[in-house]
Amino acid sequence: MFNKKLIRFVLIFSLISITKSYSQENIFNRSSIKTGIGIGYNDSKEENGLGLIYNLGYQKSFGVKERFRINPNLIIGGFSTNLITDTRDQFYRITSLQMNVSYDVVRYNSISLLLCTGVFGNYSRGLLGTGGELQNNQNSEYFQKFYFGGSLGIGLRINPIKSRIAYEIKPFTIQLGNKGFSLGYIMMGLDIKFKN
């Protein structure tokens, strides 16, 4: 008799504790870690290539409905001319420090159409190899370049209220900078929200 009461008490207490902890897990604040992976095309006066890019940053939401967000982030990527035939061989990396602002232009439940814009500083370095149909380069050389400019993008954001994860699909983002620099990319991202 005593064991049955104890077992019931433990089960009820466990159920209440699990329910309470689950409800607390669904309460998140306005800050999150922003991550992403994408495919980009980079072009400037000297270098151009295709490559994978990775994004890591911090994001803070503002407003009653959290439609406005500020996002300092870092993009890194490796580029090459493997699929480009009319230029010299190139293998290089970029590191881009950005400050973006995003706004949900249209929102329906947890899905929104977002616009983002910002400024960036980009450091490119790597190897410019031989070849190229027009240049016919015979020598390789290392390079380092710094670029700065602005960015503009559009995307789709899925942000379930009770989920710790928000999803972003950005089919079009472009950075335009000095010295003919441009970087266009498609990116899939996850925002991991902080708990209160």
Tens of pLDDT along 64-102? 788 889 999 999 999 988 777 677 778 899 999 999 999
- Residue 170: closest CA among 155, 185, 157, 184: 155
Give the pLDDT confidence score for residue 4 in this predicted structure.
65
Q: Is the pLDDT of residue 114 over 70?
A: yes
Name the CATH topology of 29-195: Porin (2.40.160)
Q: Is the pLDDT of residue 21 over 50?
A: no
Give the pLDDT confidence score for residue 129 in this predicted structure.
75
Give the pLDDT confidence score for residue 17 in this predicted structure.
55
Q: How far apart are CA 155 and CA 63, in angstroms?
A: 20
Is the overall model pTM greater than 0.85, yes or no? no
